[in-house]
Structure 1
Amino acid sequence: MNELRIYTTSPRFNSSPVISVWGIAGIGKSALVRHLQYDRMLHSNQFNMYNWVDVSHPFNLRDFSRDPIKECRELLSEHHCFVVIDGLQSKEEWDSIEAALVSRPSTSVIIVITTEASVATYCTTNKEQVFNVKGLEAAAAMDLFRKEVHKKNPSSPLYRQRDAELEQLILKCGGLPKVIVSIAALLARETEMLMDNVHSLNHKFIQHLETNPEYESLRGLFDWMHSYFSTFPDSLKPCIFYLSVFPPGRSIQRRRLIRRWIAEGYSRDSDEESAVNKGEKFFSKLLDLSIIEEIPRPVSTEFSGDTNTKVVSRRVNGFIRDYIVSRRMEENFVFELGPDCALTTQRTGRHLVVLKSWDRDRIVFESTDFSRLRSLTVFGKWESFFISQSMWLLWVLDLEDALGVKDEDLKKVVERLHRLKFLSLRGCIEICHLPSSLGDLRQLQTLDVRQTSIVTLPVNIAKLQKLQYIRAGTTDPASTLSVSSSWLPKFHRHRGLIGVEVPRGIGKLTALHTLGVVNVSASGGKAILEELKKLTQLRKLGVSGISRHNSREFFSATSGHVHLESLLVRLDRDSQNCLDEISLPWENLRSLTLCGLQDKLPLSRNPLSKLRKLDLEMGILQEHDIKFLASLPELCILRLQVKQLKLHFYAEICGVQLVTFSKVKILEIACSSSELYLTFGSKSMKNLEVLMIDYSSASYELAGLTNLSELKEVLLKGTNDEAFRTQFANTLANHPKSPTVKLEGLPFLFLSRITS
């Protein structure tokens, strides 16, 4: 229902800004106002000077017996007002409202709420006044729940009770205040059967909300969701329902999901657009719709080419996931083996998920109909009987979250599942070899064997002409590293950057756009570089074993890779000077990682105008190198692994400081020295949001932290010293943004700043 709500205020605005808001359904007015109050743009004194009153005047825009615009105009003529237009659906509706309300100077403020991004941007000419409102974060959602319970029943044990099942229930609410408040109101009245009701709600969440008369207030939300889902294009619908493959709260890797979509045929190549680009757009659309939500986490530093500047992991919104699950069985799209599976249950569908909580009953598994199965995803313990002869149509086998997969299991997979397009063994550390029969998987597009014990790719991999994506890498003993691993940050020690040996003939895989990490020295040196030269479609490449003996050939081999956007290079020991005087073909790079440098940064002669993410592992970063980094126009993420004592992030001309590192939002520093002195200039890193410091081997003296005016979070890695965290937080007490200080080894606490 579209409503126009008006609140009389005492404003200090000189004009009438239109703040246009769009986002997830069911956020509600109260959460919207809370969100805006803590937004950077509305931290101004003007907005905070509003005096809210309890009087509101709602008008139904579709109640044709009244003229809400006329009544609104009369009210505006008598009062300065805060106007909320909730549920605007079209640009035409805004045109009629704008003509009546915004066509003349006013001291009122208008907020437009819509679920359509195009409508939101249409309502204002100022892009900074368009907000995508998300659901409440976990801590804020629980805080709202407890407050509502306390309001209804101050003696309820739920006000202070901490229970995993209760937390799971609140997660299912998806951060929607309307749902949280409704559940709080019902549970606040319960006494003896309280936890039984919590369990029942968890077990059949959507069914309870849709059928229980106690939740009558949510009927409009479900009606809206039904119509909203029906408006999605046919190309996006299967991508949405596919999300129920991931259990509640499970982190979703963007690349993993997109590669699965491609294998399933939900994202296809066309004359106008590649399947990868189309998948990226689908993913971004689901983020915009808040179907997939972003959760603050430490920065991912693996070789991925991901140039996002946010510190996030991603998961399906809890409420929307349960809504999807409640509808998916209508077509047997996704089905699960979980704790409630019984032998009498009919199980068939396109996508099977084996949950960690399932008891691994072989009789139940073998009674399942696999004739339509296209994907198998396993969470938790692997069993050898999970591969069935009747799975001959399987396209996707995702064992990234499986435990106990062995070489003999993989051999059976390759022998039986010849139609596989996607195979992920990531993290299966007991896998040591890829069988030579891998070459029989002629449809294979994606192969992910990171964090396994595989050190060599088989010769027959060259037969897989449809391969687009190979990710591999092992962790060698510390003695084989080109630098001491004691001061390597975790993203170098445990992300498999040493690489694997690849066979001759890899150059035949001309469809490859992602390859890494290849150990050039182990793979035949210059000969393998000739193979790499043929892979001109590469977008992402990772190599190790670059030395003075092969460096010129490596850069010559990649000089024709005009599509290359992400590059990782690890130098061999004592190969510092191998990059000198070489013009590097990196003008299109957006992500670059250089490991094993000493005291010289070989970048100043090379155009890097598009670079957004830079990881450097080196001994000493010279002053002129810092000035070069400061000049990179698009740099957003900077990670430094150094040995030196002092780092000064500023630049001067004639004693006047210059604006430097203007777009950097994330800075990570690790140091092997016993001390480190950091200085931030008054005009440096003015947009920095996250500062990460490896505290494991150094003490720090930091100057100019208050100059980092947008700093939101400091992460101290390598320590669990709560006293030090508190001391560090005290030094930031007067910072204008009041940044949070966290320890890497402790759970991240999402502190709610939402007022009641």
Structure 2
Amino acid sequence: MKKCKGLPLAIVTIGGFLAKQPKTPIEWKKLNSHISAEFEMNQGLGNIKNVLKKSYDGLPYHLKPCFLYLSIFPEDHIIKRDRLVRRWIAEGYSTEVPGKSLTEIADSHFMELIDRSMILPNKRTYFSRKKIDSCQVHDLMREISISKAAEENLIFRLEEGCSSNRNGRVRHLSISANWKGDQGDFENTVDVSRIRSLTVFGKWRPFFISDKMTFLRVLDLQDTKDLCNHHLEHIEKFLHLRYLSLKGCRGIYRLPDSVGNMRHLQTLDLRFTRITMLPNTIIKLKQLQYLCIGGLRNDHAYFLGRFPSKCAALCIPRATWMELDMEASHGRCAKFWNLARPFYAISSISVPRGAGNMKALHTLGTVDIGRSGNSLKEIEKITGLRKLEVVGINKKNCHGFFSTLKVLSRLESLTVFPHCGDDLCGLLDDVPSPPNNLRSLTLRGNLVKLPAWITTIQNLVKLCLEYTKLLDSDGIMQMLGNLPHLAILGLWIYTFDVEGLRLHFLPEAFPSLVALYLSSKQGCTNGDEIASRKNVKSVEFSKGAVPKLEMLEFSDYSDEIINVGLFSGLTSLPNLKKFQLIGSSEGNEALVEDLRAQLSQNPNRPVLMMKW
């Protein structure tokens, strides 16, 4: 059933085949483990494969390589849409047409494969402006993509039990996590002289990169383990490289200066690495479109590892560092705080002088505009930016930041937060004219009150607030409820600083809201008693409120037992499909039963999901 994944033809065909087999676990496990071989040997199962092959044969020419490309990824792998689209662009699978960008074309390819049921949409995430932000490949369709890709010498998957590929020069090499061979096995198994993409899953081996890979366009090392700086020392040899992802490689904390020689690079994904500074040569990458860094926060362990020699200089014993809250230690030891602060804050980069010449950039973040006075001047020159994430806004640079926003007329997504220990209070009140095309806004940091200009962004689709500690909860909910196109609302941890917080969704409020995220933890952290008093006390939905709401997620970060009547009005939400409860189950059994009772009375029969 897992392999069928709801595909009716597969269920009927495999079910009919199993009905004629001995009813023993051995026979059924045999089919499950060796379904590819059974497809070839059994005429009954061969029929389904022939039908599915016709689905592939019927694809337009431009979609066939896009579909076969999916066999690079492991079985049941959740493939992020942005990752796939940017890789397709780097491979040349997207051809620009008048009035549409390469990204828009590649996005249309993705949706067309979804519409043709060649790939399965993954709908686990509602908190994205894109209705479908990831996909999976049906096991049966994946078997076809692997078979066809092998026939055309398009993709070679280096995995346990694979045979050598000496019949042709493969174009795409995918190294599975279960492959345990050595360098000799690697060189005897695959010819890398013509490969255009290398994707590694699992552990890194230095011999995976070779000087013979002169045609390499895509180097995807996302989440690869044991990758270190020196493994990238000669990366400049890949002059044709267009896509480089080091996302999740925590052993990487710098890039070599030679990265500036890769003049064709379009995507550089450095999120969840330890890189905080880019080489000045980065400004030579005139075709770079996507440059992202950030994601690491509160990295105590790395701080310990990088500065062991500083222990004697600190008044706090080394053994207690891991037990301390770094922000709380600010008042106790300024020396400790000054050393630790870069590793506590979300990692970011300074904009190199001359970055304004990188006119192709449309995604940039996380950028620290507080480190250098020239950062905003450089960003202002990149007028094609569509997505920007900045940290370090303060009293000195806030007006310069407003001027920059005025110039970035194409901006669609903006994330703003201050340096750790600072706040945004009063800094964002005087934005003269937010970008007209802004569709996504995330604010992190103490605001006290919500800037009035947010209500003027009529095209706003997504809004996320975190650590904002807003005081007027009723007024803010009424203000946000009038935004006509707001579809995604995240009221994250410490959004409000209101004792006995009660959120009331009024009739006709939030007419377009589809996904709502709430956190129990509100108020401040100055003692357990105060924090307890300022947790959410009730969430009420009046009849007629949030008529399009499909997903409601509630995270409980408090230590107290949640009251049974926390939510009311769930029965009146006509389109609710899913209620997700995240937190501790201990003592909250009564709440769960209350939620189940309410959801059972909702005509739409929403699903209650729990993650404890």
- Which interval holds the TM-score relative to the shorter structure? 0.7 to 0.9
Contact 1:513 1:537 in 2 (8 A): yes
**Structure 1 stretch displaced more, 705-714 or 325-334:** 705-714
Aligned to 2:142: 321
Summarize deviations over 1:462-518 as a string: whole Å, max 9, x none. Answer: 1111100001014243646999xxxxxxxxxx9985522232221111110010111
Summarize deviations over 1:640-671 as a string: whole Å, max 9, x none. Answer: 122433243334xxxxxx41111101100112
Aligned to 1:649: 504
Give me the whole-angstrom Cα distance separating, in 1, the residues matched to 2:567 and 2:454.
31
Aligned to 2:309: none
Task: Give the C-alpha shift of residue 434 in structure 1.
Answer: 1.1
Aligned to 1:183: 14
Aligned length: 548
Give me the whole-angstrom Cα distance separating, in 1, the residues matched to 2:154 and 2:264.
23
The within-5 A match list for 1:437-448 is 437-448=258-269
Task: Give the C-alpha shift of residue 720 in structure 1.
Answer: 4.6
Contact 1:601 1:621 in 2 (8 A): no
| Larger Rg, first or second structure (1 or 2) | 1
**Structure 1 stretch displaced more, 719-728 or 426-435:** 719-728
Contact 1:439 1:462 in 2 (8 A): yes
Residue among 385, 390, 406 paired with 2:212: 390
Contact 1:450 1:473 in 2 (8 A): yes
Amino acid at match of 1:707: S
**Structure 1 stretch displaced more, 332-341 or 288-297:** 288-297
TM-score for both structures, normalised by structure 1: 0.68
Q: Secondary structure at the match of 1:579?
A: coil
Contact 1:650 1:683 in 2 (8 A): no
Task: Give the C-alpha shift of residue 527 in structure 1.
Answer: 1.4
Give me the whole-angstrom Cα distance separating, in 2, the residues matched to 1:190 and 1:427.
46
Is the counterpart of residue 422 in structure 1 residue 243 in structure 2?
yes
Give me the whole-angstrom Cα distance separating, in 2, the residues matched to 1:326 and 1:545.
51
Is the counterpart of residue 620 in structure 1 residue 462 in structure 2?
no
Summarize deviations over 1:184-214 as a string: whole Å, max 9, x none. Answer: 3434554598536634554452x53354134
The within-5 A match list for 1:304-703 is 306-309=128-131, 313-342=134-163, 346=167, 348-367=169-188, 368-412=190-234, 414-477=235-298, 479=326, 497-522=346-371, 524=372, 526-572=373-419, 573-604=422-453, 607-617=456-466, 618-620=468-470, 622=472, 623-641=474-492, 642=495, 643-644=497-498, 645-651=500-506, 658-670=507-519, 671-672=521-522, 673-674=531-532, 675-676=535-536, 677-697=538-558, 699=562, 701-703=566-568
Aligned to 2:42: 212
Change (3 A) 1:482 1:296: farther
**Structure 1 stretch displaced more, 290-299 or 448-457:** 290-299
Give me the whole-angstrom Cα distance separating, in 1, the residues matched to 2:23 and 2:165.
33
Change (3 A) 1:496 1:233: farther
Give me the whole-angstrom Cα distance separating, in 1, the residues matched to 2:328 and 2:187.
47
Contact 1:292 1:316 in 2 (8 A): yes
Give me the whole-angstrom Cα distance separating, in 2, the residues matched to 1:201 and 1:559.
59
Give me the whole-angstrom Cα distance separating, in 2, the residues matched to 1:724 and 1:495.
38
Is the counterpart of residue 704 in structure 1 residue 534 in structure 2?
no
Residue among 116, 128, 141 paired with 1:289: 116
Give me the whole-angstrom Cα distance separating, in 2, the residues matched to 1:527 and 1:537.
19
Summarize deviations over 1:510-548 as a string: whole Å, max 9, x none. Answer: 1100101111112x0x31100000000011111111112
Give me the whole-angstrom Cα distance separating, in 1, the residues matched to 2:98 and 2:344.
36
Change (3 A) 1:741 1:227: closer
Aligned to 2:93: 266
Change (3 A) 1:343 1:246: closer
Contact 2:286 2:359 in 1 (8 A): yes
Contact 1:584 1:606 in 2 (8 A): no
Task: Give the C-alpha shift of residue 392 in structure 1.
Answer: 1.1
Contact 1:514 1:538 in 2 (8 A): yes
Aligned to 1:8: none
Change (3 A) 1:702 1:419: same
Summarize deviations over 1:671-708 as a string: whole Å, max 9, x none. Answer: 23423121222221121111111112163522222222
Amino acid at match of 1:282: H
Task: Give the C-alpha shift of residue 231 in structure 1.
Answer: 3.3
Amino acid at match of 2:352: P
Contact 1:309 1:637 in 2 (8 A): no
Give me the whole-angstrom Cα distance separating, in 2, the residues matched to 1:212 and 1:495.
59
Give me the whole-angstrom Cα distance separating, in 2, the residues matched to 1:481 and 1:434.
33
**Structure 1 stretch displaced more, 570-579 or 542-551:** 570-579
Aligned to 1:735: 602
Summarize deviations over 1:565-617 as a string: whole Å, max 9, x none. Answer: 11111134133101123224232111111111332111446521111111012
**Structure 1 stretch displaced more, 695-704 or 665-674:** 695-704
Amino acid at match of 2:382: L
Give me the whole-angstrom Cα distance separating, in 2, the residues matched to 1:505 and 1:604.
32
Give me the whole-angstrom Cα distance separating, in 2, the residues matched to 1:495 and 1:309.
33
| Greater relative contact order (Cα < 8 A, sep 6+) | 1
Task: Give the C-alpha shift of residue 270 in structure 1.
Answer: 3.3
Contact 1:337 1:354 in 2 (8 A): yes
Amino acid at match of 1:714: F
Contact 2:199 2:220 in 1 (8 A): yes
Contact 2:412 2:440 in 1 (8 A): yes
Give me the whole-angstrom Cα distance separating, in 2, the residues matched to 1:269 and 1:621.
49
Q: Secondary structure at the match of 1:380?
A: coil
Unaligned runs of 5+ in 1: 1-141, 143-169, 301-305, 484-493, 652-657, 746-756
Amino acid at match of 1:689: E
Give me the whole-angstrom Cα distance separating, in 1, the residues matched to 2:196 and 2:105.
21
Aligned to 2:311: none
Q: Secondary structure at the match of 1:517?
A: strand
Change (3 A) 1:662 1:464: same
Identical aligned residues as a percent? 35
Summarize deviations over 1:12-31 as a string: whole Å, max 9, x none. Answer: xxxxxxxxxxxxxxxxxxxx
Aligned to 1:104: none
The within-5 A match list for 1:160-309 is 170-171=2-3, 173-188=4-19, 190-191=21-22, 194-195=25-26, 198-199=29-30, 202-203=33-34, 205=36, 207-215=37-45, 219=47, 221-299=48-126, 306-309=128-131
Amino acid at match of 2:503: H
**Structure 1 stretch displaced more, 726-735 or 594-603:** 726-735
Give me the whole-angstrom Cα distance separating, in 1, the residues matched to 2:345 and 2:15.
47
Q: Secondary structure at the match of 1:552?
A: helix
Give me the whole-angstrom Cα distance separating, in 1, the residues matched to 2:453 and 2:278.
36
Amino acid at match of 1:322: E
Give me the whole-angstrom Cα distance separating, in 2, the residues matched to 1:267 and 1:184.
39
Change (3 A) 1:187 1:571: same
Contact 2:156 2:165 in 1 (8 A): no
Change (3 A) 1:499 1:286: same
Give me the whole-angstrom Cα distance separating, in 1, the residues matched to 2:274 and 2:594.
40
Give me the whole-angstrom Cα distance separating, in 2, the residues matched to 1:286 and 1:223.
19
Contact 2:408 2:435 in 1 (8 A): no
Contact 2:406 2:434 in 1 (8 A): yes
Amino acid at match of 1:628: M
Give me the whole-angstrom Cα distance separating, in 2, the residues matched to 1:261 and 1:313.
15
Amino acid at match of 2:607: T
